[in-house]
Amino acid sequence: MIDVHYWPTPNGKKLTIQLEESCIPYNIVYCEIGRGDQFEENFLKISPNNRMPAIVDYEPRDQAAPLAVFESGACMMYIAEKCGKFGGEGLRERWEVNQWLMWQMANQGPKTGERGHFARLKDREGDQSYALRRFDDEIHRLYGVMNNRLYDRRYLAGNHYTIADMACYPWAVGWEAQGIDIDEFKYCGRWLNELSQRPAVEKGMQVGSDLTQDYSKLSEDEIKRVVSLLYNQRARPAPETGGLLD
Ligand SMILES: N[C@@H](CCC(=O)N[C@@H](CS)C(=O)NCC(=O)O)C(=O)O
């Protein structure tokens, strides 16, 4: 059994899609980020970056203690290795998968996330026009990268559906809210359409969907609380004593 520390965001849904596709039994442990669960000591022991998702495998292959993994991309590589599926077949395809997974983790995910951040701040923190232009352009560029890749390939890594597709899908499916016209990226649109018809994708995307918070419906006080939790994070101090400097 694998515990998935999860909240229904695109990063979380990467893992529920993969687990549904892989038929591995899993248990959802909700990590409500708007409430601050990501700062709990027990959570930080498995995910020191105070971000979800993270997993704990209670039946690791080495049959030793439960094994925890944080960072969605690393979790996906771990699950792919565990079930021997979706990580690419053979040396070359495996490295195509790894590259596109890293591309997602370093580009599509963070840039889209930052765009959302500045779009939500619009009208609250003064003029955000440069930040919005910067991230709108970046996101447009990134859809172009995927579109060019998918123009003559069925999937991001080539002929096979892999964790690279599962990682990119939950972000790309939000194209409309990201200000993208998908007709401009028709190869990407075809791929989105194909993936959306997979029952496991549909099921993975639904996990916890009743819990998603519509921030536009929060009161001013609730917004202030969430903003102070999520938007003004600074370093957590390390312990003063007991470490390697003693
Ligand atoms: N690179 C990380 C990013 C994870 C991430 O940003 N998670 C967000 C939700 S999508 C989170 O936990 N936010 C909590 C916070 O900002 O304190 C991954 O892919 O796992």
Check pLDDT > 90 for residue 234: yes
Is the CB of residue 112 below 6 angstroms from any atom belonging to ligand 1? no
Architecture of domain 2-85: 3-Layer(aba) Sandwich (3.40)
The predicted-structure confidence for 13-36, as pLDDT tens digits, reads as follows 999 999 999 989 999 999 999 999
Report the candidate in 63, 89, 66 with the shortest Cα–Cα distance to residue 3.
Answer: 66
Is the CB of residue 72 below 6 angstroms from any atom belonging to ligand 1? yes
Check pLDDT > 90 for residue 56: yes
Domain borders along the chain are 2-85, 90-197
Check pLDDT > 80 for residue 92: yes
Distances (CA, A) of 235 to 29, 39, 64, 114, 229: 25, 12, 33, 19, 13
Is the CB of residue 52 below 6 angstroms from any atom belonging to ligand 1? yes
Give me ligand 1 centre to Cα 77, in Å: 17
Number of neighbours of residue 233 by Cβ within 10 angstroms: 11
Average pLDDT over all residues of the chain: 95
Check pLDDT > 80 for residue 216: no
pLDDT at 6: 98
The predicted-structure confidence for 181-214, as pLDDT tens digits, reads as follows 999 999 999 999 999 999 999 999 999 999 876 7
Give me ligand 1 centre to Cα 9, in Å: 9
Q: Does domain 90-197 have CATH number 3.20.20.80?
A: no
Mutate to test the pocket of ligand 1, among 5, 6, 11 (most ligand atoms within 8 A of CB): 11
- Helices 163-172 and 186-196 pack at an angle, to 10 degrees, of 110
Run of H or E residues at 70: strand 67-70
3-state secondary structure of 46: helix
Is 2-85's fold the same as 90-197's? no
Kindly report which listed range (108-122, 165-179, 223-237) carries the lowest average pLDDT score: 223-237
According to DSSP, residue 235 is labeled: P
Of all atoms in ligand 1, which is nearest to the CA of residue 39? 17
